[in-house]
Amino acid sequence: MTSTRDAGKLWAVITAYLLLSITVAIATYQLSLRSGLDRLSQSGAVILEQSADRLIAQLESYREMTDLMSRHPQVAALIEGRSISAHTSEFLLRTALTTGAKELHVLDASGSVLASSTYEDPLNTIDKNWASRADIIAARSRRMGVFHSAADNGQRSYYFARSVLRDDGKPQGYVVVKVNMDELEAEWRIDETVVTFFDTAGVSFVSNRLALALRYDAALAIAPPDTFGYATEWLFPIPDHKKSRSGRHDIWTFTAQSEMPDNALVVSQDVPLIDMTARAFVDAQPAFSNARLLAALTAALLSLFGLGVAIFVQSRARMADQLRIEADLNIELEARVAKRNAQLQQAQDNLVQASKLTALGQMSAGISHELNQPLSAIQNYAANAKKLMERGREPEAHDNLTLISEQTQRMGRIIHNLRGFARKETEPLEKVNVADVLTASLSLAAQRAKSEGVEVIVDAVPDAWVDAGQVRLQQVIVNLLSNAMDAMADTPVKQIETTLSLHRGQVQLVVSDTGPGLADIERAFEPFYTTKEIGASKGLGLGLSISYGIIGSFGGLLSVENLETGGAAFTITLPALSTQEAAQ
């Protein structure tokens, strides 16, 4: 459930980032394209201005020439009838050849050609009447008349017309200068940017690409084509193209192979001086390429950034998952450990319970065995005493009663032992010389040692004073000697060594033997731990644990170790009293 929701969230973030990246890339493309087109448009405008200036400058010289010619005496002489046409025509031809003008004509006041530089041409213009032409009409009102037209062969001409004025200021004739535009354009061909000048009929009259001359664009036509003598059948449209706008710029995409750039930014400018519209077709490809490159770069950078972020987020999520899994595992492990501990505790409790029951069983078996023996002896002695008394054998009966008394003493001792284990001694401590207690204990054990062939070696300092209970300390030492002799019952070498020493404020008494050592040394001081057959001796497995408690009550320690040479060594360590303390 959670992972589905997480996955959904992840997809939403990825989609949002993709949309954002696409938007940013598109915005980058558009901004870059717009600024690129702005720059191209500005340079297009500059090119147009330069081209217009160049055209106007080229035409200007012919305009001035027309002006000069209108005041030339040869022209005036012809118009005023002082010269003949042939002379003037000859003069016009020479002038045309030296100035580069295509043709020069002199017209009378009615607009008929009087003389022409083409006079030798069979198709010369002499006697033609041009009164209705726009340039002559303009010249009639004393302005500089201009006109342009194209011949059937596609040759384009530009005309200047000026009136030759009489003294009263009225036109008495006209001078017309014809300029060949094809020749004028020839030096423009090397221009990089395509520039075309459209007239008011929407026809490209001048262009730096020959193929674009006399192309027709209806969108620019405000006058009919025949205004300039164009025959519609030889006017071709501008090469195939699709128009679009990018911001405030016109983009023409040329579909057919032509001299035009594939993607052209169209910049237009009116040139009122020659009444034409100049158009530059600037190659817009660099702006598109730059914008595309910048957008692609932006997209690549955003993708890289997105990828980096995705990898970072992914690795963090993986790490978090890992940590979560580890935490889960830890919790599970802790639970298992706790469960195991509880099981162990339970098992231990069960074991303790079982060992308690075992100990109780052993103890009851031991006690009943120990007490049974004297009890059955007492029973026997009492029955014997009864019979002996019935028979009047008093002294023998007395002996039996003495034996009964001994057995009860033995029972008392057994019970005393048990009580000693159960209760805590409250007997007050006194100054005791361990050396004396050791001597007394050895003399108690001497009888048995002798009978069992045990050699007793004593190495003792004479004074080793401690705070203790004399009787209880003796009980412990006797118990250790007695255990040692029990252990050596089947050993060939029977030797007990007692060493009493004083060392660093401690009194140490070591009782070692040459027996087999302790079978289970860890359990030596455990109550009811015994390896002896129950009832075989006075022991119940309580001797060592009672001794341990007694030495502990003196502020000392009873410890045991198995000797490397074999045998066991018990050590009683007690805090020593200083000589002054001992003397007090």
Among residues 36 and 549, whose Cβ is nearest to ligand ADP? 549
CA nearest 17: which of 294, 316, 304?
304
Report which secondary-structure segment, H or E, holds 147: strand 145-150
Angle subtended at Cα 172 by Cα 168 and Cα 173, rounded to the nearest 5 degrees: 145
CA nearest 159: which of 59, 54, 91, 55?
59
Q: From residue 418 to residue 457, what is the string marking binding to ligand ADP with x (rule CB under 6 A)?
A: ----------------------------------------
Strand boundaries in 434-534, DSSP class E:
455-460, 465-468, 495-503, 506-513
481 part of the interface to ligand ADP, by CB under 6 A: no
Count of positions on this chain that bind ligand ADP (CB under 6 A): 20
Distance in Å, CB of 475 to ligand ADP, minimum? 12
How far is Cα 153 from Cα 122, in angstroms, rounded to an integer? Answer: 17
Pick from 106, 203, 544, 550 the residue near ligand ADP by CB under 6 A: 544
Among residues 255 and 531, whose Cβ is nearest to ligand ADP? 531
What's the token pair of residue 468?
A: 């203790």
User: Looking at 20-28, 141-149, 222-230, 542-550, which segment touches ligand ADP (CB under 6 A)?
Assistant: 542-550
201 part of the interface to ligand ADP, by CB under 6 A: no
Q: Residue 274, class by beta-carbon neighbours within 10 Å (0-12 exposed, 13-18 middle, 19+ buried)?
A: middle
Pick from 244, 289, 531, 578 the residue near ligand ADP by CB under 6 A: 531
Distance in Å, CB of 526 to ligand ADP, minimum? 8
Among residues 107 and 542, whose Cβ is nearest to ligand ADP? 542
**Helix residue ranges per DSSP H, 428-469:** 434-452
Q: How far is CA 539 from the centre of its chain?
A: 77
Contact (Cβ atoms closer than 8 angstroms) between residue 39 and residue 137: no
How far is Cα 69 from Cα 47, in angstroms, rounded to an integer? Answer: 34
Distance in Å, CB of 414 to ligand ADP, minimum? 12
CA nearest 478: which of 563, 538, 557, 422?
538
SS3 of residue 157 by DSSP = strand
524 part of the interface to ligand ADP, by CB under 6 A: yes
Distance in Å, CB of 535 to ligand ADP, minimum? 10
User: Looking at 240-248, 322-330, 406-414, 483-491, which segment touches ligand ADP (CB under 6 A)?
Assistant: 483-491
User: Looking at 71-79, 85-93, 391-399, 530-538, which segment touches ligand ADP (CB under 6 A)?
Assistant: 530-538
Distance in Å, CB of 504 to ligand ADP, minimum? 26
Contact (Cβ atoms closer than 8 angstroms) between residue 435 and residue 464: yes
What's the token pair of residue 162?
A: 């000026």
HSE-CB for 71 with a 13 A CA cutoff: 5
366 part of the interface to ligand ADP, by CB under 6 A: no
Contact (Cβ atoms closer than 8 angstroms) between residue 515 and residue 567: yes
User: Looking at 113-121, 197-205, 297-305, 537-545, which segment touches ligand ADP (CB under 6 A)?
Assistant: 537-545
What burial letters (b/e) apply to 73-101, b meaning 16+ CB within 10 Å?
ebbbebbeeebebeebbbbbbebbeebeb
How far is Cα 329 from Cα 62, in angstroms, rounded to an integer? Answer: 102
Among residues 83 and 498, whose Cβ is nearest to ligand ADP? 498
User: Looking at 47-55, 407-415, 501-509, 531-539, which segment touches ligand ADP (CB under 6 A)?
Assistant: 531-539
The footprint of ligand ADP on residues 491-520 (CB under 6 A) is 513, 515, 517-518
Pick from 17, 188, 421, 529 the residue near ligand ADP by CB under 6 A: 529
Pick from 541, 549, 571, 573 the residue near ligand ADP by CB under 6 A: 541
Among residues 83 and 530, whose Cβ is nearest to ligand ADP? 530
Among residues 78 and 568, whose Cβ is nearest to ligand ADP? 568
SS3 of residue 48 by DSSP = helix
Distance in Å, CB of 489 to ligand ADP, minimum? 10
Closest residue to ligand ADP using C-beta atoms: 539
Among residues 117 and 483, whose Cβ is nearest to ligand ADP? 483
540 part of the interface to ligand ADP, by CB under 6 A: yes
Pick from 238, 464, 484, 500 the residue near ligand ADP by CB under 6 A: 484
543 part of the interface to ligand ADP, by CB under 6 A: yes
Q: How far is CA 415 from the centre of its chain?
A: 81
Pick from 532, 535, 557, 582 the residue near ligand ADP by CB under 6 A: 532
The footprint of ligand ADP on residues 35-54 (CB under 6 A) is none
The footprint of ligand ADP on residues 555-574 (CB under 6 A) is 568
User: Looking at 104-112, 284-292, 538-546, 575-583, which segment touches ligand ADP (CB under 6 A)?
Assistant: 538-546
Q: Residue 362, class by beta-carbon neighbours within 10 Å (0-12 exposed, 13-18 middle, 19+ buried)?
A: middle
Residue 314 burial (CB count, 10 A)? 11
HSE-CB for 456 with a 13 A CA cutoff: 24
Interface ranges with ligand ADP (CB under 6 A): 483-484, 487, 513, 515, 517-518, 524, 529-532, 539-545, 568
